[in-house]
Amino acid sequence: MLMKSNSFAMMMNLLGAILLVSIASVANALTKNDFPPHFLFGASTSAYQVEGAANEDGRKPSILDTFAHAGNGGLFKGDGDIASDQYHKYKDDVKLMAEMGLDAYRFSISWSRLIPDGRGPINPKGLEYYNKLINELTSQGIQAHVTLHHWDLPQTLEDEYGGWVSRRIIKDFTAYADVCFREFGDRVKHWTTVNEGNVESLEGYDLGFLAPQRCSPSSMSNCSKGNSSTEPYLVTHHMLLSHASAAKLYRTKYKAKQRGLIGFNILGFGLLPLTNTSEDIIATKRAQDFLIGWYMNPFIFGEYPDSMKNDVGSRLPYFTARESSLVKGSIDFLGFNFYYALYIKNNPKSVQKENRYTSDMAVEFKPYTGIGTPTDEIPVIPWVLEGLLHSLKNDYGNFPIYIHEIGQKTSRNSSLDDWSRVKSMHVYIGSLLDMLRNGLNIRGCFVWSFLDVFELLYGYEKSYGLYFIDMKDPTLRRQPKLSSVWYSNFLNNRIMDSKITMKIEEKSSISNTSLMHATT
């Protein structure tokens, strides 16, 4: 008996060891230790989407408050009045971030909390809140990566002069940035002036789906104001000049002492030609000029892409020589958000009925839905992201990039076992290793979103968070999803639970080989 049970135990041990080795060989293939020591991992949120306390302590509305309270053009129900209540729960949230092992937290400052009317007096309670949040982060060794404008322009400036449509925004934005650099710059070393400037111009001023809902009348949206043929271009122009003005201020007044970096964020659409015809290939290049070159050409070369100058003509604002040299070279890094890919089909200008930004592009878009991806999930397409980043490297040089957002969407109330999000993080983070080996200058990666927030396209119906918040629970308790366990294991170099590793493979619509490829 003794003999038998001994050999049985030995056998079990051996089996266990083999199992452990094979699991470890997969799990160990992906931990933070595989990355260069200074590569940052973080998570993102934005002020209106996470803070709540919208009417507290002197904060005044932004255009997002107005948009949400007006019923969002029927996109979703809800508003950010309470959101994730981070305004009151920031200490607990930073504790969760520290336990998770985040290197950095990307959040934004609510301009109308800090300076309620957009210009003029500073709100002492707003100043106090951001100081407390930043101090809490730094005391836990978590870097604060701060965005100044994340869709939420003070409503007062919108009412007074049309916000980004007017040149007057440049002066007010620069003064706001000055306050932030002066008050927080001793602790904040990564500033992003504007989030997704390209999408804000497109959705807010051409299509009119999102705040401030300005557009020309069309069958697609009911805007009471706006002009889709001119305003998207004006808005981007003023964002570029506001950024450049703030960057110049930072470099002349603060940089020597504070030693920080200043960047700009855009949404990186993956663009794929629908067919291999030269028309569609040229159209895809043109769409990339309109969506990305619109910002990158000015930042790198000091002027808009030729394709835009040709197609938009006199509706495209121009830079004076002085402005051109101010904008050129004004980013230390690019912040890049990545979710979707689109197929591009040529759609000649001659057949377009109107002059608007999306028509000027002269393309038709068709969403890339992935092969075998459930309709509700965002396809996981690291090769598209890598292709896009290589094309930016070819066109603009190998400047530093932070992936500011990647993420997966699920129903807000779905299971805490968010396998689709685990899979997405596993594959994207694994693929970053390939991208670094292939020479891309990526400095860090942030997951959208740290916890469930008020989503700009989905309200509280869908979410991207690593932590679930049940809006019906008055305490808004943060409940860890499986993705938070996965990220925490990865960040702390812990061998992952075998059940997780095997389930990732089982749940993955990506073959084992490509999964292995992505992780080795």
Ligand X SMILES: *[C@@H]1O[C@H](CO)[C@@H](O)[C@H](O)[C@H]1NC(C)=O
Residue 463 interacts with ligand X (CB under 6 A)?
Answer: no
Q: Which of 85, 101, 505, 514 binds ligand X (CB under 6 A)?
A: 505
Instruction: Report the candidate in 50, 142, 133 with the shortest Cα–Cα distance to residue 102.
Output: 142
Tally the residues of the chain.
520
Assess whether 405 carries a catalytic annotation. Answer: yes
Residue 221 interacts with ligand X (CB under 6 A)?
Answer: yes
Region near ligand X per CB under 6 A, out of 6-14, 225-233, 236-244, 478-486: 225-233
Instruction: Report the candidate in 10, 1, 27 with the shortest Cα–Cα distance to residue 504.
Output: 27
Q: Which of 51, 136, 405, 455 is catalytic?
A: 405
Is the link from the previous residue into 216 a cis peptide, with omega within 30 of 0?
no
Residue 410 interacts with ligand X (CB under 6 A)?
Answer: no
Instruction: Report the candidate in 293, 296, 299 with the shortest Cα–Cα distance to residue 330.
Output: 299
Q: Which of 411, 415, 438, 492 binds ligand X (CB under 6 A)?
A: 411
Residue 216 interacts with ligand X (CB under 6 A)?
Answer: yes
C-alpha 193: how far from chain center = 13
497/505 with CB nearer ligand X: 505
Q: Which of 33, 222, 398, 415 binds ligand X (CB under 6 A)?
A: 222
Region near ligand X per CB under 6 A, out of 128-136, 227-235, 305-313, 331-339: 227-235
Return the residues of window 258-287 that contact ligand X according to CB under 6 A: 275-276
Region near ligand X per CB under 6 A, out of 149-157, 179-187, 218-226, 234-242: 218-226
Assess whether 303 carries a catalytic annotation. Answer: no
Residue 193 interacts with ligand X (CB under 6 A)?
Answer: no
Handedness of CA 194, 265, 76, 43 (dihedral sign): negative
Residue 25 interacts with ligand X (CB under 6 A)?
Answer: no
DSSP state for residue 198 in the 8-state scheme: H
Kindly list the distances between the CA atom of residue 355 and the CA atoms of 216, 231, 318, 358, 404, in Å, as whole numbers in the listed order: 10, 12, 18, 8, 32
440 half-sphere exposure, CB direction, 13 A CA radius:
24
216/449 with CB nearer ligand X: 216
CB of 136 to ligand X, least distance (A): 33
Residue 413 interacts with ligand X (CB under 6 A)?
Answer: yes
The residues pairing with 335 across neighbouring beta strands, listed in sequence order, are 265, 402
Helix/strand/coil for 40: strand
Instruction: Report the candidate in 342, 336, 338, 339 with the shortest Cα–Cα distance to residue 271.
Output: 342
Helix/strand/coil for 265: strand
CB of 503 to ligand X, least distance (A): 11
Q: Which residues are catalytic?
A: 196, 405
Binding site for ligand X (CB under 6 A): 216, 220-222, 227, 229-230, 275-276, 411, 413, 461, 505, 508, 511-512
